[in-house]
Chains A and B, each alone.
Chain A
Amino acid sequence: MAMEITQALLAAQSPDTQTRTAAEASLKQFQEQNLPQFLLSLSVELSNDQKPPESRRLAGIILKNSLDAKDLARKEYLTQQWVSVDPSIKFQIKESLLRTLGSSAAEARHTSSQVIAKVASIEIPRKEWQDLIGKLLGNVTQTFAPGFLKQATLEALGYVCEEVAPQDLEQDQVNAILTAVVQGMTSAEPNSDVRLAAIRALYNALDFAQQNFKNQVERNFIMKVVCETAVSKESAEIRQAAFECLVAIASIYYDYLEPYMQTLFNLTAEAVRGDEEQVALQAIEFWSTLAEEEMERQDDCVALDELNSPVLHFHFIDKALESLVPMLLETLLKQEEDQDQDDTVWNLSMAGGTCLGLVSKTVGDKVVPLVMPFVERNIAKADWHSREAATFAFGSILEGPSVEKLSPLARSGFEFLLSAMKDQNSHVRDTTAWTLGRVFELVHRPASGDPIVNEKNLPGIMTVLLESIRDVPNVAEKVCGALYFLAQGYEDAGPASKALMPYYESIIAALLSTADRVDVSNVRLRASAYETLNEVVRCSYAPETLNTTAQLLQEIIRRVIQTVELQVVSSDDKEKQSDLQALLCGVLQVIIQKLGSSEGKSVILQAADQMMMVFLRVFGCRSSTVHEEAMLAIGALAYVTGADFAKYMSEFYRFLEMGLTNFEEYQVCSISVGVVGDICRALDDKILPYCDGIMTILLKDLSNAMLNRSVKPPIFSCFGDIALAIGEKFDKYLIYAAPMMQSASEMCMHLDTTDDDMAEYINQLRMGIFEAYSGMLQGFKNSNSEIMIPYARSLVQFIEAVFKDNSSDDLVTKAAVAALGDVADALGGGIKVLLANSSFYNELLSECLLSEDYTLKETAEWAHTLIQHALQS
Chain B
Amino acid sequence: MRVCVHVRRCQEGSTPVEMDGFGSEFPAGGSGGKVDTGTIMEQVKVQIAVANAQELLQRMTDKCFKKCIGKPGSTLDNSEQKCIAMCMDRYMDAWNTVSRTYNSRLQRERARM
Whether both chains belong to one complex is answered with: no
B-side residues, CB < 8 A to A, are none
